[in-house]
Structure 1
Amino acid sequence: MHRVVVLALDGVYPFELGIPQRVFGSAGRHYEVLTCTVDGEPVRADADFAISVEHGPELLSAADTVVIPPFDMSLISRELHPRVTEALERIRPGTRIVSICTAAFVLAAAGKLDGRQATTHWRLTEQFRAMFPAVRLDPDVLFVEDGHLLTSAGAASGIDVCLHMIRSDHGSDLANRVARTCVVPPFRDGGQAQYIEQPVPEPTGQGTAATRHWAYENLHLPLTVAELAEHAGMSNRTFARRFRDEVGASPGKWLTQQRLARARQLLETSDLTIDQIAAQVGFATAASLRQHLHAAIGVSPLTYRRTFRTEAVATSAGESSCDAG
């Protein structure tokens, strides 16, 4: 059983502290979730109560994944408290470490993010960059995975990154079941841009939601941005701008994300050939699917299928010819 250890720091946000238990705990026997503090003592929450846990920092040395929830922004500092430093030093090399929101400041202060890509809440972008210029901060995404280190943005992004880890560990089928149990989307479109405070666009009486739904139901078609704009009754330029305002990504990027998500589901749950899957999700050829999947997650369709299918998969001649390597 994969052990997830949650490190509760002083000023911890109660909601985010509970996310790992809620999400990983919904995955059944696959994960064990335990909580600790840097000294085994209670911590005060960012609320009118304290939180008492049963474990001290020694638990970190036996963790497969460590999750650090966010804490009161007034406690952010370039320097870590010695007890926090000592606790982090207990984590074994190569252990997966995850931060939610302000906890990215902890990893950065510990020097773990130097030279790496990371993210945090969009409100903290300038403060983070000023304090830790050696970190390659990307404030536009919901979460970032750089090797064994994962950083995520605000509260809901903590759910996103936990679902991503379940998907990486056990495939989309389990991640989707956990998402349904928690009544959350298994994958959120776009990035933080859609949540950043900005002037409200002039009302037009139209949005892109209906067109997104239509596109999702017709991924097998070679849809273009012009066709999406026509369906929405907008000019190409207006549609692209409004789509980005609502989703946080361009229509083309969103389409590719949806096609890849559908392809991964079919790779895990069906015996369709790579050519058949490519056709069903709207990629022109199996080679195109292979190129996009490799760019997104670094593996070929056949390798992905072998990793996430629990039962034997019949490899057809079509798969062998189109997905070699």
Structure 2
Amino acid sequence: MVEPHRVAVLAIDEVVGYDMQLPALLFRIAERNGEALYDVRICGVDDQPVRVSAGYTAVLDHGPEALAEADTVIIPGTRVRGPRHEGTLPDDIAAALALIRQGTRIMSICTGAFVLGAAGILDGRPATTHWAYADELQALYPEILVDENVLFVDDGDVLTSAGLAAGVDLCLHVLRADHGSEVANTAARYTVVPPFREGGQSQFIERPVSDEGVGTTASTRAWALTRLGEPLDLATLAEHARMSVRTFSRRFRAETGLSPRAWLIQERVKHARHLLENTTLPIDRVAEESGLGTSASLRQHLNAAIGVSPLTYRRTFARS
């Protein structure tokens, strides 16, 4: 039996309750063959109850000692004054963060990035937070390479996300990277959320909810998903939607936050990952079936998405 990966969620005073609870929910759902893949503990910087920004107090089962044992540490959003408004790190938070072992994966959700910024963990790194606070993060911590437009940033051992729902996207991304799409999709289904949104997708989507009626690209997207292995250029998609290329491109980006080309690559990579996990098709066939063309193209796009080759991905995530 493999020991589960240990996750500590550090709740700091004025913690955002949604951000604090969602990692525990998502990671605790993850299992394979009935065995839990993660051991999740919500802890504080000390043994005292923690104030939640929604107006209640949470009594936690664990103190900062959980940080010393964790393989992944997650900092939820918080309104704590020092990191959020003054660019300072209170002694108790600094002492708690000092317990984190070298090599531990560190994640933040929403304004949790301010805590990592105050600790110097994000210096020289790309990072994000909720778009409404991105300018503040950049002003307080000018060494951070802040990108306010993306849902999350994966910089290897340090990952940051935008607000609220983007924290779900980040957690599902980590589940997928750790254990494959089947585990992540199961967690997504259980919590009734979309199974995959690319981290580079914009935080700003002008028309996030669209129906299947005239004037939307929804039916064309659904049509394209059944034909990923076929040539699908912009003109073909626009023709199916009965729009001009210019109108189609504008509406597509407004509804998805992505260009048609970026969306197609994202969906093709997702399909390739599914084929690598669930079939024994040769790599060349996987590339063809997913619409990525050649094994070299598949390797390039998979590396760009998650940093591994098709063979490595298959060895890691293929279902027995």
* TM-score, normalised relative to structure 1: 0.90
* Correspondent of 2:155 among 146, 157, 161: 146
How far has the Cα of 1:208 moved from its partner?
Answer: 1.1
Alignment of 1:59-74 (within 5 A): 59-72=66-79
Partner AA of 1:119 in structure 2: T
Is the 8 Å Cα contact of residues 194 and 247 (structure 1) preserved in structure 2? no
**1:320 matched residue in structure 2:** none
Q: Structure 1 residue 127 and structure 2 residue 136: aligned? A: yes
**1:56 matched residue in structure 2:** 63
How far has the Cα of 1:195 moved from its partner?
Answer: 4.1
**1:194 matched residue in structure 2:** 204
Q: Structure 1 residue 4 and structure 2 residue 7: aligned? A: yes
How far has the Cα of 1:205 moved from its partner?
Answer: 4.9
Q: Structure 1 residue 92 and structure 2 residue 101: aligned? A: yes
How far has the Cα of 1:68 moved from its partner?
Answer: 1.0
**2:38 matched residue in structure 1:** 31
How far has the Cα of 1:211 moved from its partner?
Answer: 1.0
Q: Distance in 2 between matches of 1:2 and 1:213?
A: 37
SS at match of 1:295: helix
How far has the Cα of 1:74 moved from its partner?
Answer: 6.1
* Correspondent of 1:243 among 226, 241, 252: 252
How far has the Cα of 1:294 moved from its partner?
Answer: 2.2
Is the 8 Å Cα contact of residues 9 and 74 (structure 2) preserved in structure 1? yes
> Where do 5+ consecutive residues of structure 2 fail to align?
208-212
Alignment of 1:166-205 (within 5 A): 166-188=175-197, 191-195=201-205, 205=214
Is the 8 Å Cα contact of residues 142 and 153 (structure 1) preserved in structure 2? yes
Deviations 1:144-187, CA, capped at 9 Å, x for gaps: 11121010001111111111111111111111111111111110
228-237 or 293-302, larger mean C-alpha shift = 293-302
Q: Distance in 2 between matches of 1:73 and 1:212?
A: 42
Is the 8 Å Cα contact of residues 149 and 204 (structure 2) preserved in structure 1? no
**1:315 matched residue in structure 2:** none
Q: Distance in 2 between matches of 1:310 and 1:230?
A: 39
Partner AA of 1:112 in structure 2: I
Partner AA of 2:115 in structure 1: V
**2:21 matched residue in structure 1:** 18
SS at match of 2:266: helix
Q: Distance in 2 between matches of 1:162 and 1:85?
A: 25
SS at match of 1:44: strand
Q: Distance in 1 between matches of 2:67 and 2:159?
A: 17
How far has the Cα of 1:36 moved from its partner?
Answer: 0.8
**2:218 matched residue in structure 1:** 209
Is the 8 Å Cα contact of residues 37 and 43 (structure 1) preserved in structure 2? yes
Is the 8 Å Cα contact of residues 194 and 246 (structure 1) preserved in structure 2? no
Aligned CA-pair RMSD? 1.7
Is the 8 Å Cα contact of residues 177 and 306 (structure 2) preserved in structure 1? no
Deviations 1:244-297, CA, capped at 9 Å, x for gaps: 111111110110000001101110111111121112111222222122222322
Is the 8 Å Cα contact of residues 122 and 192 (structure 1) preserved in structure 2? no
**2:210 matched residue in structure 1:** none
Q: Distance in 1 between matches of 2:65 and 2:21?
A: 21
Give the count of matched residue pairs. Answer: 305
SS at match of 2:108: strand
**1:318 matched residue in structure 2:** none
SS at match of 1:288: helix
Structure 1 runs of 4+ with >6 Å offset: none
**1:299 matched residue in structure 2:** 308
Is the 8 Å Cα contact of residues 117 and 135 (structure 1) preserved in structure 2? yes
SS at match of 1:98: strand
Partner AA of 1:8 in structure 2: A
Partner AA of 1:15 in structure 2: Y
Q: Distance in 2 between matches of 1:298 and 1:159?
A: 21
Q: Distance in 2 between matches of 1:117 and 1:242?
A: 29
Identity of counterpart residues, as a percentage? Answer: 52
